[in-house]
Amino acid sequence: MTLARQQASQQLIKDTALLKQKKHRDAEGLLLVEGRHPIEEAHKAGLTLRHWFALTDAPAESLPKGTLPVPAFQVNAQQMGKMATTASVPPCLAVFENPQKTHTPQVLADFMVILDGVQDPGNVGTLIRSALAFGADALVLTNDSADPYSPKVIRASAGLVFALPIQTVSIQALLEQLGTQAHTIWATTGHGDAVPYRQADFRGPCALVLGNEGRGVSEVFLEHPKAHRLTIPMHPAVESLNVGICGSILLAEAAAQRGH
């Protein structure tokens, strides 16, 4: 590296490290993507790459395959550690432009998953992977859910967050839009009069609502005129399932019914 490039990378390191904070990602409209596979997925999805970094001694197999549109800045482990959000230093890290825009949701997807206040990034990442694996057309998060483009969710989804249409909207805007669509709303609950999931009909246009880790699905969804309460029967010794597991079971059933 030339002196000029060393100086430029030092400034980039400082600017990139700020992107670990959501307020800076939102202000700049940028994403922090760590690791080979998530970077490949972001590039495959057509996101605009601003710049990326590679460890000086990183083996070739730990770096993105193919040629990225901009060259990498070579950095040492200490410099990479300043930018990374993980305890272990990744071999590569990239900054992409955020594909998400603030707009009124267009809930036109035939089979969609709604995350109502799901706040754990690991759960959101798991549900993104399951939604894609089992044929969901889109995923919508309410405003009080985890940021789907946070570094933790990107890692938990193995970069597949970029392969699925995703929106973050208010509950009010979402319900207003759903009211104009022909979707059946299947809202999960462990209480009250609910339909066992194997008796539910997922074959037509529908929305599967999965709720917050503590409170479950909001009453506004459960009381919606188009909503049907949905449950997973289980052994009485088990009070509840993790939302990621619950969602994956329901998505697998929906995929079987829909012939996915």
Q: Where are the domains of the chain?
A: 3-97, 111-258
What is the value of pTM for the model shown?
0.89
What pLDDT is attached to residue 229? Answer: 95
Distances (CA, A) of 22 to 37, 42, 50, 100, 163: 22, 19, 18, 14, 21
Quick one: CA torsion of 200, 204, 207, 213, rounded to 10 degrees? 30
What pLDDT is attached to residue 102? Answer: 40
Q: What is the mean pLDDT of the chain?
A: 90
What pLDDT is attached to residue 158? Answer: 93
Sign of CA dihedral 99, 115, 37, 31: positive
Phi, psi (degrees; rounded to nearest 5) at 207: -125, 125
Crossing angle of helices 121-133 and 243-258, in 10° steps, is 10
Tokens of 189: 């609950």
What pLDDT is attached to residue 233? Answer: 92
State the CATH class of domain 3-97: alpha beta
Beta bridge partners, 95, equal: 32, 51
Residue range 122-159, pLDDT digits in tens: 999 999 999 999 999 999 999 999 999 999 999 999 99
pLDDT above 80: residue 173 = yes
pLDDT above 70: residue 182 = yes
Residue range 57-114, pLDDT digits in tens: 999 999 999 889 988 999 999 999 999 999 999 999 999 999 875 444 455 689 999 9
The domain defined by 111-258 folds into Alpha/beta knot (3.40.1280)
